[in-house]
Amino acid sequence: MNVTFEQQSVIVTGAAHGFGRAIALAFAQRGAVVWACDVQEERLHETAHLARQGATPLHTRAVDVTSRDAVQALVDGVQQHTGRVDVLVNNAGGVLGQVGRPIEAITPQDWHAIFQVNVDGAFYCAQAVAPIMKQQGRGRIINISSGAGLGISLTGIQAYASAKAAQIGLTRQLAHELGEWGITVNNVAPGFVRSNPTTEKQWESYGEDGQRRLLQNIALKRLGSPEDIAHAVLFFASDYAGWVTGQVLSVDGGK
């Protein structure tokens, strides 16, 4: 299957490392005009450096997706530059450094912070690109959730599991709302992947026994990579998924 995105305009949030970086690079390697966005500017420069090394340069923008105004400014800039937005990948999110604690220890600020980046951010980005995609009569929105949104969070973080479940609900709702304009909205739910400093700490915290148990619970008996997640995104963004919308694809090695 030869998947290309020649001259398509693609926005990827949370592109400073991990899944977002792999997704941004994958689109750039296939001819897309990529806008890689994140709040971590220094690590975003690393993403751009890797793209240049592969002779597939991309644009970078420092954007806080929890700010509706910042998101709208980003999308306005992309439209002015390319005249269109073909693909939006809502990857920004995570646990923001939080760890699992009893529910009675969770502050309102902790709870809302995770919802803001994982749910509000995806909503603001989709809201900003929707009018452009409607005018085009075509578009692809892909949200990156987590196995935690379909089951439970391995870290025990209540807000993360809840926010990812909410993001999946948003995916299904927008698929029905936007479908008549040729816009598909789908979701990739990754399993545990060692993709960034947070997941590295999580992996180390399990110890040898815990790591062995985690692998034994995976059908393929191995961890995946950020590229595995990127490949699922490429499918949803491609013409091969033209009649696929409102779906959640678990990319987790089999549970």
Q: Of 11, 16, 2, 9, which is closest to residue 226 (Cα–Cα)?
A: 16
Q: Of 46, 126, 45, which is closest to residue 91 (Cα–Cα)?
A: 126
- According to DSSP, the residues that pair with 36 across neighbouring strands are 12, 60
Measuring CA to CA, how many Å separate 181 from each of 88, 106, 110, 142, 175? 15, 41, 37, 16, 10
Residue linked to tokens 């644009």: 59
Mark 161-190 as b/e (b = at least 16 C-beta within 10 Å).
bbbbbbbbebbbebbeebeeeebbbbbbbb
Taking residue 212's Cβ as centre, other Cβ atoms within 10 Å add up to 11
Question: Could you give the angle at which helices 121-136 and 68-82 cross, rounded to 10 degrees?
Answer: 30
The catalytically annotated residue of 124, 160, 206, 240 is 160
Q: Based on the residue annotation, tell me whether 160 is a catalytic residue of this protein.
A: yes
41's enclosing H/E stretch is helix 41-53
Measuring CA to CA, how many Å separate 51 from each of 4, 32, 57, 255? 17, 12, 5, 33
Radius of gyration of the chain (CA): 17
Question: Taking phi first (over 0 means left), then psi (-120 to 50 degrees means alpha), and beta for anything else, what does residue 94 get?
Answer: left
CA distance 253 to 231: 14
Q: Which residues are catalytic?
A: 160
